[in-house]
Amino acid sequence: MADADGLYLAVQTNGTKLWRMNYRYLDRQKTLYFGAWPEVGRHQTRVIVLGACGVPGA
């Protein structure tokens, strides 16, 4: 399941679902991890992403 701005829900082989976001820094791909679903929901993850991207009021 993917959301905007590189945010996606990765499903591991053991069934764990983790929120991740890919981004580029100095021409290298990096990945941020935001927690496991359902403990961290999509809306909460989106708020964290907006804060990480420097969006005011997020």
Q: Are 35 and 47 in contact (CB under 8 A)?
A: no
Q: What pLDDT shows up at residue 14?
A: 94
CATH classification for the domain delimited by 4-52, as one of 3.30.160.390, 3.40.190.10, 3.10.180.10, 3.10.450.750? 3.30.160.390
Q: Are 35 and 19 in contact (CB under 8 A)?
A: yes
1: tokens are 């399941």
Distance between CA 23 and CA 31 in Å, rounded? 6
pTM: 0.64
50: tokens are 């907006």
Which one is predicted more confidently, 32 or 54?
A: 32
Tell me, rounded to whole angstroms, the distance of Cα 31 from its chain centroid. 8
**pLDDT interval class at 2 (50, 70, 90):** low
Instruction: Using the predicted structure, report yes or no on whether residue 56 has a pLDDT greater than 60.
Output: no
| Tens of pLDDT, residues 13-30 | 999 999 888 888 899 988
| Tens of pLDDT, residues 37-52 | 787 777 777 776 766 6
